Every structure is written in C-alpha cells, then in structure tokens.
Amino acid sequence: MKKNLVRDILVLNGSPNGNSGNCATLIKHLEKMTKGQASLDVIHLAKSAYGLSLKKKIEKAQAVIFVTGTYWDSWGSPMQKLLEQMTELEATPALVGKPCAVFVLMHSVGGKSVLSRLQGVLSTMGFLIPPMSGMVYSLVNDIALKGKSTHAQDFWQMDDAHLILANLYHACDLKVEWTTWPVDKADPRRRWLKP
Ligand SMILES: Cc1cc2nc3c(=O)[nH]c(=O)nc-3n(C[C@H](O)[C@H](O)[C@H](O)COP(=O)(O)O)c2cc1C
C-alpha cells in the first residue's frame, strides 16, 4: 500500500492580530511551501478559545507549527494563554514526541530569545524539537536582504522555511518509544503559599 506522505500539520498563530497580521502573511507563505507535502489546519488563537475542538486538533496532528510575533520581548498573549491552558496535555501522548517547528517574527530585537524560550517550553511539555526547526524573521532582515552582501547567508531568510519544513517532515516519519517523567496531575493552579 502506498504511504500517505501528506502530513496533517496544525498551525497555531499566537499573534494578537490573528488573521490580519504579519504572522498570518507568513502562514500564507508556509501554505504555498507545503503544497502536496502537508495539509495545514490554521488556527488563529486570537479568535479561537482553547477547548475540546482545539484539544482534539492538537491530539490528531502529526506535527504542530507555532507562529508568533515578538511583543515586548515575548510571544503573543494568545500564545501565552494557550500554553497556560494546554498545560493539561503536558507529558501526555497528545504531545510526547510530537514534532514541532517555531517561526518568530519581529521588527529588530528580542525574537531569538522568544524562539529559544518557546522551544524550551515546548520541549518541556513533551514536544520534539527537530534540528534546525525554528527561525526568526525580522523587518531588519527583510530590508537588509534587499541589498547584496556576502554575509547574507548568515541571515535568516524566508527560504530557510523550506529546510525547517523538511526537518519537520523527517521528524514526522520517526517512530520512537519516548519515556515520560511523572507529572503532578492535580490542579496546577491550586494554592501552595500558606497565609
Ligand atoms: C505591542 C508590540 C510590541 C512589539 N515588540 C517588539 C519587540 O520587542 N521587538 C521587536 O523586534 N518587534 C516588536 N514588535 C514588532 C512585531 O513583533 C512584528 O511587527 C511582528 O511581525 C508582528 O506580527 P503580527 O502583525 O502578526 O502581530 C512589536 C509590535 C507590537 C504591536
């Protein structure tokens, strides 16, 4: 039987500007780049609350792409809200070993820290971070790349998304029995500080 090579990938847009922002434009680029190789289900978190439907989408997806801008050195508030709400999925089969990629936009500074910290959070939750699976694209890069420079190869550029997606596809094909550390499954919001 022929293997279905069109991966089901969930795209979570953490921009407060939802489907009208720069992150939404980046996602349009990703849709073109993945044609024939992946089917993208795009959720703009600014407009979609976390609930059973999104939980099921996360569970079902073969991989997840996280997209966010940089807002005062951090990821978008809808992304933060999602991370808090999906804590119930931490260390569960819905996440453990699920490959993810991260795309961060920014004007000029702070995005690399957003990328590294977000990948750190996602790994701790159970996601698999493939090699070279995240990038930051900035307005500064966009302007700089219009000029010619022998240094340009060292700048993240839109085309790098192709190799990030290729690594994500490879990771989708991995079959690994990951082990999971124990997680306190009681309410993480319960109070621990004595009055
Ligand atoms: C409130 C706010 C804060 C921002 N903070 C930063 C920042 O700290 N560093 C940076 O380089 N760009 C910053 N930006 C620029 C955005 O990260 C950038 O325009 C991004 O593409 C926005 O994506 P969006 O249009 O999907 O929201 C900020 C933009 C806004 C609106």
pLDDT at 3 exceeding the cut of 70:
no
Domain with residue 60: its CATH number is: 3.40.50.360
Average pLDDT value for residue range 138-167: 96
Minimum mean pLDDT among 78-87, 114-123, 182-191: which range?
182-191
Distance (Å) from CA 19 to ligand 1 centroid: 15
Is residue 195, in this structure, part of any structural domain at all? no
Is residue 186, in this structure, part of any structural domain at all? no
Longest dimension (CA), the chain: 64
Distance (Å) from CA 111 to ligand 1 centroid: 9
Q: Is 192's C-beta closer than 6 angstroms to any atom of ligand 1? A: no
Task: Give burial (CB, 10 Å; 0-12/13-18/19+) of 80.
Answer: middle
Is residue 78, in this structure, part of any structural domain at all? yes
Tell me if the pTM is above 0.85. Answer: yes
Domain count, the chain: 1
Dump pLDDT digits (tens) for 29-77.
999 999 999 999 999 999 998 999 999 999 999 999 999 999 999 999 9
Is residue 125, in this structure, part of any structural domain at all? yes
Q: Is 79's C-beta closer than 6 angstroms to any atom of ligand 1? A: no
pLDDT at 2 exceeding the cut of 60:
no
Residues above pLDDT 70, as percent of the chain: 98
Domain of residue 59 covers 7-172
Q: Is 110's C-beta closer than 6 angstroms to any atom of ligand 1? A: yes
Would you state the structure tokens that stand for residue 17, as one six-digit string? 């500007």
**Percent of the chain as helix, strand, coil, to the nearest 5:** 40, 20, 45
Ligand 1 atom 9, closest CA: 109
Asked if residue 41 lies in contact with residue 9, where contact means CB atoms within 8 angstroms, the answer is yes
Alpha helices in 34-186, H assignment, sequence order? 52-60, 77-85, 111-125, 139-144, 160-172
Is residue 97, in this structure, part of any structural domain at all? yes
CB contact set of 52 (below 8 Å; sequence gap of 6+): none
Asked if residue 81 lies in contact with residue 115, where contact means CB atoms within 8 angstroms, the answer is no
